[in-house]
């Protein structure tokens, strides 16, 4: 089949690489978000999907909006059989959804209908889900509500970050996409309507939401730290400066007041709403990430996070 692949971040580029390396189907173009400013210079940089496509001599379509008439015209000229989607980052209008013979199929990193939206892995970790997974489904106008073509479960580790989970889910999802495309070409794939019960939403996590509330339970904060790693990163304030927490785990209560930091011989702990939180990896303002215990050796007296 002739494919137009839609995606933007690295997780999408990794899936595109699997398609290019292990599929007999032809990727004739990619649809991705426009080049974005990066770094202090705000230099415009192509998305990871655009960079990979360019390396392989594949046409790159990067409209400001998917409703751009020029995009519709170009897709009509290309006439793809199917458009696989992985984290494109924009809504596909109905007119485009109707163009390919086999429609648009999305690789989504949750077990739909749970966690529809832009940040399913983050919300699964934040909620304390033990099981998540991957769903391949037909794209429709309603958010992540299309008929399901394939699913697979994935068990989250107790200290697994969003970044680690996404890497594993991408490998699983990439293989599922390859199998689904082969099945569509052979006419052996069956679509199943999503149930109406059990729908939850997973909007993108904001920097403001990543701020730690030390009044919360320790395990809730632990999940917040994991869910926000690698982006936007859980944070707090110490002496008026932003302080990131990259890894942490709940510990036995020791009577610490909420937000108070205590450096011990081999660890650093903070008081929370129901016990202590051990800081495993931290990043003070203007410094590189370090082990919590190493940072704690520089503390001359107990501090307090705000």
Q: What is the pLDDT of residues 98-128, one digit of tens each?
A: 999 999 999 999 999 999 999 999 999 999 9
d(Cα 201, Cα 116) in Å, to the nearest integer?
5
Residue 14 neighbours by CB under 8 Å, 6+ apart: 170, 171, 174
- Tell me the per-residue pLDDT of 256-271, one tens digit each, with 9 for 90 and over: 999 999 998 899 999 9
- Tell me the per-residue pLDDT of 53-94, one tens digit each, with 9 for 90 and over: 999 999 999 999 999 999 999 999 999 999 999 999 999 999
Q: Which pLDDT value is given to residue 101?
A: 94
Residue 261: name the closest of 228, 288, 219, 297 by CA: 297
HSE at residue 231, side-chain half, CA atoms within 13 A, is: 4
Exposed e or buried b for every residue in 49-69, given b needs 16+ CB within 10 A?
bbebbeeeebebbbbeebeee
Residue 174: name the closest of 142, 145, 134 by CA: 134
* pTM (two decimals): 0.93
Residue 123 neighbours by CB under 8 Å, 6+ apart: 115, 117, 200, 202, 205, 227
**pLDDT, mean of residues 2-8:** 97
Read off the tokens for 197. Answer: 């019960």
Long-range contacts of 263-270 (CB under 8 A, 24+ apart): 263/296, 263/297, 263/299, 263/302, 264/296, 266/293, 267/292, 267/293, 267/296, 268/292, 268/293, 268/295, 268/296, 268/299, 270/214, 270/305
Read off the tokens for 98. Answer: 């109707």
Q: What percent of the chain has pLDDT over 70?
A: 100
Read off the tokens for 224. Answer: 């917040």
- Tell me the per-residue pLDDT of 198-248, one tens digit each, with 9 for 90 and over: 999 999 999 999 999 999 999 999 999 999 999 999 999 998 999 999 999
d(Cα 203, Cα 90) in Å, to the nearest integer?
13
d(Cα 172, Cα 183) in Å, to the nearest integer?
17
- Token look-up 């660890």 returns 267
Asked if residue 113 has a cis previous peptide bond (ω within 30° of 0), the answer is yes
């Amino acid at each position: 089949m002739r494919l137009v692949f839609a995606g933007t971040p690295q997780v999408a580029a990794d899936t595109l690489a699997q398609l290019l390396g292990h599929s007999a189907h032809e990727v004739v173009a990619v649809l991705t978000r426009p080049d974005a400013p990066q770094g202090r210079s705000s230099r415009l940089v192509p998305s990871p999907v655009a960079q990979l496509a360019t390396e392989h001599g594949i046409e790159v379509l990067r409209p400001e909006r998917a409703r751009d008439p020029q995009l519709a015209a170009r897709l009509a000229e290309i006439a793809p059989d199917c458009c696989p989607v992985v984290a494109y980052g924009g809504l596909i209008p109905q007119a485009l959804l109707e163009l390919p013979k086999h429609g648009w199929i999305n690789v989504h990193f949750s077990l739909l209908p749970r966690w529809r939206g832009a940040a399913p892995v983050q919300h699964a970790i934040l909620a304390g889900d033990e099981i998540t997974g991957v769903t391949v489904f037909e794209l429709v106008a309603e958010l992540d509500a299309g008929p399901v073509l394939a699913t697979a479960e994935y068990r989250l580790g107790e200290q697994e970050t969003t970044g680690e989970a996404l890497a594993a889910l991408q490998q699983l999802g990439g293989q599922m996409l390859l199998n689904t495309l082969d099945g569509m070409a052979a006419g052996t794939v069956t679509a199943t309507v999503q149930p109406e019960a059990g729908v939850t939403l997973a909007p993108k996590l904001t920097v403001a939401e990543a701020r730690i509330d030390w009044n919360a339970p320790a395990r809730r904060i632990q999940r917040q730290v994991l869910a926000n790693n690698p982006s936007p990163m859980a944070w707090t304030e110490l002496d008026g400066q932003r302080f990131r927490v990259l890894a942490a785990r709940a510990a036995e209560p020791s009577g610490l007041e909420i937000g108070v930091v205590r450096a011990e011989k081999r660890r650093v702990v903070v008081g929370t709403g129901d016990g202590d939180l051990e800081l495993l990896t931290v990043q003070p303002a203007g410094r590189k990430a370090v082990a919590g215990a190493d940072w704690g050796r520089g503390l001359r007296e107990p501090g307090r996070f705000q």
